[in-house]
């Protein structure tokens, strides 16, 4: 099985006529994603991609013609928050925002609206998610994925790809890989995604990739200890980062003791979670862990 995204999930692309939106929409279609149409304000009535998908001025207009389950957003940062809010207002179940550099003040508005809704937001500033051999919403390369029983949950796009590759190379494969993003305010936390993996009978184990800054990994470790029934292999990026220096993501800044890589690794281990010493050992660590079960 999979979480959140399935082959039949019907998808709309916000920002489909931009260069990034156009390129990745065609990549998603080639992978098998069920993309029905797109939205670009002012360009309604046009068609986009080699598949001639209809373009609408708004999600409201698109939903008069199509039943939409999910929306993926490739919109410049200054417009991205309003694009997310539009999707929330139209009660889109799953929203994925790839856009990077959305101002924190804008994401505060989004978070308030999101918390009052039933929508699930992945991102922003993320690679999106992919269900192996079924569908993808985002920029994860499909060719590295093979279907299997391991879920991937990561703050880092690049490390999401690395973890997928290692899990496939050890002979397992993945169910769904979710890159949640590393900004200070994001739609879904690690715990939010772990709950979905816990409820998926065909996900047998999870790779959890965190980084310095914030306390999300510590909270997830404690939740796993008390609520998660499946093996977890973790890795924390930024182990050599100096205090106060941002490393890669806007949220990856160490400001207090519990936010360091060392503190997070200690918490993970105390909660009974296997920790990979280096990024190159994620797959090996998982193989050893599953061999012990």
Quote the tokens at residue 38.
Answer: 């797109």
b vs e for 72-98, b when ≥16 Cβ sit within 10 Å of the residue's Cβ? bbbbeeebbbebbbbbbebebebbbbb
- Residue 247 tokens read as 């490393």
Give the separation between CA 123 and CA 106, rounded to whole angstroms: 14
Q: Comparing C-alpha atoms, which of 118, 231, 121 is closest to residue 178?
A: 121
Q: Give the CA angle between residues 11, 117, 225 to the nearest 5°.
A: 95
219: left (phi over 0), alpha (psi -120 to 50) or beta: alpha
Q: How many CB atoms lie within 10 A of CB 256?
A: 10
CA 276 to chain centroid: 21
Strands 10-14 and 34-39: parallel
Active site residues: 249
Q: Strands 53-56 and 47-48, how do they pair?
A: antiparallel
């Amino acid at each position: 099985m999979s979480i959140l995204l399935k082959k039949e999930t019907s998808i709309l692309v916000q920002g489909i006529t931009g260069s990034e939106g156009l390129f990745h929409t065609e990549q998603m279609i080639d992978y098998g994603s069920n993309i029905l149409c797109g939205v670009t304000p002012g360009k309604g009535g046009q068609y986009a991609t080699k598949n001639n998908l209809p373009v609408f001025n708004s999600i409201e207009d698109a939903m008069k013609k199509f039943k939409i389950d999910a929306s993926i957003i490739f919109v410049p940062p200054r417009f991205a928050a309003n694009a997310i809010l539009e999707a929330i207002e139209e009660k889109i179940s799953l929203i994925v925002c790839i856009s990077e550099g959305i101002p924190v003040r804008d994401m505060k508005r989004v978070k308030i609206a999101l918390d009052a809704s039933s929508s699930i937001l992945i991102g922003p500033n993320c690679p999106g998610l992919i269900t192996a051999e079924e569908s993808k919403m985002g920029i994860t390369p499909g060719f590295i994925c093979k279907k299997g029983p391991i879920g991937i949950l990561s703050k880092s796009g690049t490390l999401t790809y690395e973890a997928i590759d290692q899990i496939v190379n050890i002979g397992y494969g993945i169910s769904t890989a979710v890159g949640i993003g590393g900004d200070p305010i994001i739609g879904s936390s690690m715990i939010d995604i772990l709950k979905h993996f816990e409820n998926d009978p065909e996900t047998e184990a999870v790779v959890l990739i965190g980084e310095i800054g914030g306390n999300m990994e510590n909270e997830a470790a404690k939740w796993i200890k008390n609520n998660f029934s499946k093996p977890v292999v973790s890795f924390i990026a930024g182990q050599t980062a100096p205090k106060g220096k941002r490393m890669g993501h806007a949220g990856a800044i160490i400001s207090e003791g519990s936010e360091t890589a060392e503190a997070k690794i200690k918490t993970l281990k105390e909660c009974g979670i296997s920790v990979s010493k280096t990024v190159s050992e994620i797959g090996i660590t998982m193989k050893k862990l599953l061999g012990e079960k």
